[in-house]
Structure 1
Amino acid sequence: MICDGQFVVNNQGKSELTLQASVGDTIRWTITDPSTGMNTDQTSHSFSTILYGFSNNNSGGGSISQPVLSSLPAISYYNSLDSDTTPAAAAYMCSAWTSSLLTTGTVQYAWSFQVIDCVSGSVVGYYCWDPFINIQ
């Protein structure tokens, strides 16, 4: 997990994340796969990932609200074939789940996610991830 540097306290890039936040702040989850959309031909394998199925593992509901899904416009920049120093832009839609911080403390939760083959559109597999965050 990673967090904007101004909020992280420690452990960025691991399964536990400690962050500095205030009650009412927004927490946003997205999932990334570096191979997404990188098909050079019909035999190349590229995968997409979809995040779904949040469950709060804290007794009594935990410190965050139930996440809500939204679809957001995004832009990614890549090397232009015309110029080494002028990037080209690609617009796309991305998904993000957001919730609000209700109280500080440790939140144990789980997300389900699926991996999809970008060539065939078929599901490669279903997985679960159960990290926790410490909110100070």
Structure 2
Amino acid sequence: MSIIYAEDEPSVSKQVEIFLRKFFTDVRVFNSGEKAYIAYLERTCDILITDLVMAQMNGIELLSLVRHIKKEQKIVAITAHDETEYMVKLINIEVDAFLQKPLDDRFFLQTLYTLCKELYEEKNNPNIK
């Protein structure tokens, strides 16, 4: 399984990257939504994880662009904010999971496990989409 992770806060990014690399071998980390989007255009991923509040291209913009390219993309949105404005946008984008910072490792892992299981089932059963 491949992961793209976008986070502009270096300390959070490093911590999550270390966590992800314990379970996934293909982890690409970017410090902006724009860089993550460019990388996504070059090679998509199984799971896209992004912070919502970033300079330049924020997570909402990144997710909207990705949804236009790949409707079935598995998406995890992460933020320290719990504003209704974000929730409505995430519902409209149809994210697969929404997590709040600070991340709970067990809940984060359970979320990733669920998405990996869904991807496996979709790849092995053409009737599931």
TM-score under structure 2 normalisation? 0.27
TM-score under structure 1 normalisation? 0.26
Considering Cα pairs closer than 8 Å and 6+ residues apart, tell me whether 1 or 2 has the greater RCO: 1
User: Which has a greater percent of strand?
Assistant: 1
User: Which has a greater percent of helix?
Assistant: 2
